[in-house]
Structure 1
Amino acid sequence: MCGIVGAIGSRNIVPVLTEGLKRLEYRGYDSCGVAVLKDGALQRARSTSRVAELQEQVQADGLGANLGIAHTRWATHGAPAVHNAHPHFSHGPGAEAPNTKPGHIALVHNGIIENHEELRAELQALGYLFLSQTDTEVIAHLVDHLYEGDLFAAVKAATLRLTGAYAIAVFCAHEPQRVVGARHGSPLVMGVGGVDAGERFLASDAMALAGVTDQIVYLEEGDVVDLQPGRHWIEQAQAGEGGAVAHVRISEAQRPVRTVTAHSGAVELGPYRHYMQKEIFEQPRAIADTLEGVEAITPTLFGTQAEQVFSQIDRVLILACGTSYYSGSTAKYWLESIAKIPCNVEIASEYRYRDSVPDARTLVVTISQSGETADTIAALKHARSLGMEHTLTICNVATSAMVRECKLAYVTRAGVEIGVASTKAFTTQLAGLFLLTLTLAKLRGHLNAEAEASYLKQLRHLPAALQAVLALEPQVVAWAEAFARKDNALFLGRGLHYPIGLEGALKLKEISYIHAEAYPAGELKHGPLALVTAEMPVVVVAPNDVLLEKLKSNMQEVKARGGELYVCADGDTHIHAEPGIHVIRMPEHYGALSPILHVVPLQLLAYHTACAKGTDVDKPRNLAKSVTVE
């Protein structure tokens, strides 16, 4: 979602700011901007176009300085418009629209301020002028109101008034050698050094600083950081006696500088048209990398404390959102059928707000590509507040908040995923969840040596099996031409392939904007069959499993109503192409691991349908890659 980059040094840092924004473009945004302190005055450029256009505007305006902040905005409060784009300036008492001069404060913000209406009314009564509909402008005015010659003190005081989630970067016209940052509920990192050791940086993601510095400090909840040339310090908000909150100086040992190799978002596309296509075809390598070094099923795959933690659990609770929720839904079938352990899967944003029945002997598993998903982190904290301390995450970013929050972790190695619609992150999550299933099964006495060896052999063969599925792309392209002319689609699956149908429907709606739903095939006659006509393509996931004959009956129900069937079928299912039935033959049946293969044609279908429609595949409208607000 929104991205922050800030910098202070001795050179012109505007190119650093705009290049940092380009590396964050994959997260999704609808406006962008940069602000600097030049000749003692606040100056900025903002755009509702791409960062490339902002760079042209910056160059045309001659915007350059040794201190500045920049932002990509994904709209929450207020429409995507220039006046709502960040950075925001304060406009204190006495300012008049429309030609008001900026005040002293420039600020960018990720997150949502829940008490912004109350603060807005208070500040308006004091004479502050609001030029946007954003909650962010409230923070800029609040810092201005509290400013008494010390920006760090003003930001600390302001954070005590804010309710909600935020990561902010601020500078003041009166202090030309200072940038201040703060975070609560939204990620923020600091970079140390660059062209010279005195440079300091702020970013919402270490990737924004790739190629600038690899020396990263991960800020924690309640941290406020003061950046000046050649030095920085951090204070953290801590509750004292009687509920009073004070900021306490944090030592360097508590927030160490780490060497982080962040790959640039500007990865070469090579022969591919879009990052999504590239990432679909990277799945064999991503799976191989994720499984590298797995020679046996052992708890240590998940951390040194894993065996102790796993011995104290009787059930599993999976918390996730979006695509990650569907990987968790697939894992539920594995965990209950192979490991024989009860498993619940909850949408993270729903779980944290409902009354549930906690059990201290539950393994709480969070799943997230970025490891910064706000709803999932909040749900994890809620579960822990209920006394469920056994936590594990399946995550693609080793340095993320999710990994730091959980006792145990399995870090997938999908590599940087730039396309908003997740593909290789999903299949590598499934690989990690399958390893968790086998580990719990072995510890619970449900996995003998022969079965373990068989599963490991199948896992090692997965990259080759995926390569064979990717070779089916030309057949999927033919399907996509038909789908591009439709307004709706229905996906059907049974058993552990039902979540794969859900994921296929999500992919299609995300990037092609075609309305799509998924149902367990047995539910057809309980309502969805009323939607079936010749204009409603019906995609069927048809592995050769125990539910195959039931699934064939469901397909006949569709055909009898004039529906057009598009079937991804295993070779030995005896499902053949005929009028009204289009078949793509999967190379082989893969047993319990079949979902990892069957999802690939659905990814390709969504991708090529979107291409045929001419949509923005990698940056679909209204969506963001890393959802860091509730």
Structure 2
Amino acid sequence: MSTIFGFISQNNAVSPLSPLLAQHPELGYRHLSALGGGSVWQAHGTQIALADALSQHSGYALLARLDWSYDGGHAAAVSRGRIGVVMRGQLENAVPLAAKLSSLGYEADSTQPAALIASLIHWHERTLKDLPRAVLAARQELVGIHAFGAASSDDNSALVFTGSRIPLFVSLSLGGVACTDNVQLLPADRREQLRLHDGDVASLSPGRIDVFDAAGQPVRRAATLALNSDETLDRFGHHMEREIDEQPAMLADALSHSGALPDLARLLGGDAVDALGGIRAITLIASGSSHHAALSARYWLEATVGVPVLVELASEFRYREVALLPDTLVVAISQSGETADTVASLRYAAQLGETHTLSISNVIDSTLMRQARWHLATNAGPEIAVTSTKTFTAQLLALYQLALGLARQQHRLDPQGASTACARLALLPQRAQEVLALKPQIDDWARAIAQGQTLFCIGRHGNYPVVMEGAQKIREVAYLNAEGHAGGELKHGPLAVIDRHLPVVACVPWNRLAEKMLANLQEVRARQGRIYVFTDAALASDERMNVIRMPASLGELDPVLYAVAFQLLAYRIAVHRGNSIDTPRYLAKTVLTE
């Protein structure tokens, strides 16, 4: 997860950000990329270290990106010593854009989106002679979920910001003008605050804010200043809703940072390439939502890497007389990295002599990450709500990329497979955004389901773990007795309790198992069950079956999209039931005991 920040002042533009980072270590940033003096400079470490690094610089304008990871990737760039850019997110059209810029004489690398944007703005600014108009022209050529700030080497240049599906906030204070996607970074003494509309271009100069809409027309945006303890909620009712909404941007950040097909050296470090060359099995250990992510990963790992994959509940694994296969890679997964059973299970695996250990967590300096030989950080950013949402999808993405990395290392990923995977990953953030657009339809379902007390969620293959995760989310925040079942297992008991009062929510992506899922739903219909179907197929709703059309399929990545849909459903059911959503009863964010 990344954040961009800009500040322009008649005094020192560094002064607002440096003390804020020092005073609020809970923000969790570990890397800083900044533009100053026509060049890019970086720092990494604790937020105190980042604040110290900032304090060594000065100037009237600051453009910066802050990252949760220790590596900011290609966050900032300068084109021909004139146009500087900091950006977050992803460009879906990076490859054709790089080809166009190369034909225009620019050095262009499709893996460095900030440099592409800087060169594109430079090209337009040469003829338009106006930075805001050049940014507007460049923005119209960009495809993807992103936000960026730009500056020119001219002494009197403004800072110019724009974004696509990443909200940006602009504030005016006594010290100067700021723009960021994280409202917590805005100066405390601000006297005016605006929320830009999607596609707006904001030009910032000391004491002045000019905003242009997507058509280039000057506009005035309503002030949104609300200085209170919940200002981070922005327009959302709860942190859970906000964190669900952040997922497309989080996925775009992750893909931009690591690349669609990172090799093992980039994912885990150089020594993993040789050490994991001879693995003969993989064991995944996790609890709760992380266990469901591991179950999803089993389908990817077995299909792409071609080795047996076991998925273990940490609370059971640590007390079993375990017989691990030789040359097993043990992967422990925990969002917090402090889950007691998972930490103990990884320690137990080491006691059994297993040296090939990998930890996956959202907290890079957690206990679990320190115990393993290799670690893979999901970098989803802070998650305040107890119920996991964006950290779950971040785990799915990390595990999918791990599967691809291992497959490449084992020479099991051919060029066609790699090309297909790259294309699907490039579309993932946008498809997730399309799922969020289904909120009104999902809310209609939620209003009806909230009237009952029980619920079945069914799916097959890669979506079976997703419906288990969906059922858990509904139990956690909606307090319904929700159960997740494999569609093919309904006839082995669950059908006995289906009647006209029981809602059944099904995942039916149109794949080789779709007809079997429809046959399973016919069994539900025969017992007068109330059917709700998420599908990318053109199925028609009727009196006993409600259908929501999902975005076009992304193949093996469909579980990510259906997981987001279930998160929205769980949230809206909880809202209609009037529950405590961010802090569900009897639950804690991190389970530190058995």
Q: State TM-score, norm by structure 1.
A: 0.57
CA offset at residue 590 of structure 1? 1.1
1:289 aligns with 2:253: yes
- CA distance in structure 1 between the aligned counterparts of 2:416 and 2:499, rounded to whole angstroms: 48
Q: Which amino acid aligns with 2:391?
A: A
Secondary structure in 1 aligned to 2:233? coil
List runs of 5+ in structure 1 lacking aligned partners. Answer: 1-18, 25-209, 211-264
Asked if the contact 2:27/2:382 (under 8 Å) is kept, the reply is no
* Aligned with residue 307 of structure 2, among 323, 338, 341: 341
Cross-structure match for 2:424: 458
1:306 aligns with 2:272: yes
Asked if the contact 2:280/2:326 (under 8 Å) is kept, the reply is no
Cross-structure match for 2:534: 568
* Aligned with residue 384 of structure 1, among 350, 353, 373: 350
Secondary structure in 2 aligned to 1:394? strand
Q: Which amino acid aligns with 1:514?
A: L
Alignment of 1:219-618 (within 5 A): 268-295=232-259, 296-300=261-265, 301-571=267-537, 574-618=538-582
Cross-structure match for 1:53: none
Q: Could you give the per-residue CA deviations for residues 440-465 of structure 1, whole angstroms, max 9, x where no partner exists? A: 11122210122112212211221111
Secondary structure in 2 aligned to 1:621? coil
Secondary structure in 2 aligned to 1:291? helix
Cross-structure match for 1:58: none
- CA distance in structure 2 between the aligned counterparts of 1:513 and 1:451, rounded to whole angstroms: 42
CA offset at residue 424 of structure 1? 0.3
Secondary structure in 2 aligned to 1:359? coil
Q: Which amino acid aligns with 2:501?
A: E
RMSD: 2.1
Q: Which amino acid aligns with 2:555?
A: G
- CA distance in structure 1 between the aligned counterparts of 2:575 and 2:588, rounded to whole angstroms: 19
Secondary structure in 2 aligned to 1:497? helix
Q: Could you give the per-residue CA deviations for residues 475-505 of structure 1, whole angstroms, max 9, x where no partner exists? A: 0000010111010000100011000000000
- CA distance in structure 1 between the aligned counterparts of 2:262 and 2:411, rounded to whole angstroms: 13
CA offset at residue 420 of structure 1? 0.8
- CA distance in structure 2 between the aligned counterparts of 1:589 and 1:292, rounded to whole angstroms: 22
- CA distance in structure 2 between the aligned counterparts of 1:456 and 1:364, rounded to whole angstroms: 27
Q: Could you give the per-residue CA deviations for residues 361-405 of structure 1, whole angstroms, max 9, x where no partner exists? A: 111111111111111000000111111110112211111111111
Secondary structure in 1 aligned to 2:256? coil
Q: Could you give the per-residue CA deviations for residues 275-321 of structure 1, whole angstroms, max 9, x where no partner exists? A: 00000000011112222233343111122321122113111000000
Q: Which amino acid aligns with 1:314?
A: R
CA offset at residue 359 of structure 1? 2.7
Flag the 1:22–1:417 CA change in 2: closer, same or farther, 3 A: closer
- CA distance in structure 2 between the aligned counterparts of 1:544 and 1:339, rounded to whole angstroms: 25
Cross-structure match for 1:627: 591
CA offset at residue 521 of structure 1? 0.6
Alignment of 1:31-70 (within 5 A): none
Q: Could you give the per-residue CA deviations for residues 412-440 of structure 1, whole angstroms, max 9, x where no partner exists? A: 12100111110000101000000111111
CA offset at residue 266 of structure 1? 7.1
Alignment of 1:118-197 (within 5 A): none
Q: Which amino acid aligns with 2:337?
A: G
Q: Could you give the per-residue CA deviations for residues 331-385 of structure 1, whole angstroms, max 9, x where no partner exists? A: 0011111221210000001001111212341111111111111110000001111
- CA distance in structure 2 between the aligned counterparts of 1:267 and 1:601, rounded to whole angstroms: 26
Question: How many residue pairs get matched?
Answer: 372
Secondary structure in 1 aligned to 2:535? strand
Q: Which amino acid aligns with 1:362?
A: T
Asked if the contact 1:305/1:408 (under 8 Å) is kept, the reply is no
- CA distance in structure 1 between the aligned counterparts of 2:326 and 2:458, rounded to whole angstroms: 36
- CA distance in structure 2 between the aligned counterparts of 1:410 and 1:380, rounded to whole angstroms: 15
* Identity among equivalent pairs (%): 42
Secondary structure in 2 aligned to 1:340? coil
- CA distance in structure 2 between the aligned counterparts of 1:267 and 1:549, rounded to whole angstroms: 47
- CA distance in structure 2 between the aligned counterparts of 1:595 and 1:401, rounded to whole angstroms: 29
Asked if the contact 2:304/2:404 (under 8 Å) is kept, the reply is yes
- CA distance in structure 2 between the aligned counterparts of 1:332 and 1:291, rounded to whole angstroms: 21
Asked if the contact 2:337/2:362 (under 8 Å) is kept, the reply is yes
Q: Which amino acid aligns with 2:532?
A: Y
Secondary structure in 1 aligned to 2:292? helix
CA offset at residue 23 of structure 1? 9.9
- CA distance in structure 2 between the aligned counterparts of 1:414 and 1:513, rounded to whole angstroms: 26
Flag the 1:382–1:552 CA change in 2: closer, same or farther, 3 A: same
Q: Could you give the per-residue CA deviations for residues 493-536 of structure 1, whole angstroms, max 9, x where no partner exists? A: 00110000000000000001100101111111110001101111
| Higher alpha-carbon Rg | 1
- CA distance in structure 1 between the aligned counterparts of 2:549 and 2:243, rounded to whole angstroms: 23
- CA distance in structure 1 between the aligned counterparts of 2:325 and 2:231, rounded to whole angstroms: 44
- CA distance in structure 2 between the aligned counterparts of 1:22 and 1:377, rounded to whole angstroms: 23
- CA distance in structure 2 between the aligned counterparts of 1:561 and 1:459, rounded to whole angstroms: 40
Q: Which amino acid aligns with 1:617?
A: I
Asked if the contact 1:371/1:402 (under 8 Å) is kept, the reply is yes
- CA distance in structure 1 between the aligned counterparts of 2:275 and 2:431, rounded to whole angstroms: 34
Q: Which amino acid aligns with 1:473?
A: K
Q: State TM-score, norm by structure 2.
A: 0.61
Flag the 1:276–1:501 CA change in 2: closer, same or farther, 3 A: same
Secondary structure in 2 aligned to 1:306? helix
Q: Which amino acid aligns with 1:387?
A: G
Secondary structure in 1 aligned to 2:547? strand
Secondary structure in 1 aligned to 2:485? strand
Cross-structure match for 1:121: none
- CA distance in structure 1 between the aligned counterparts of 2:262 and 2:25, rounded to whole angstroms: 42
CA offset at residue 624 of structure 1? 0.2
- CA distance in structure 2 between the aligned counterparts of 1:292 and 1:403, rounded to whole angstroms: 23
Q: Which amino acid aligns with 1:626?
A: T
CA offset at residue 588 of structure 1? 0.6
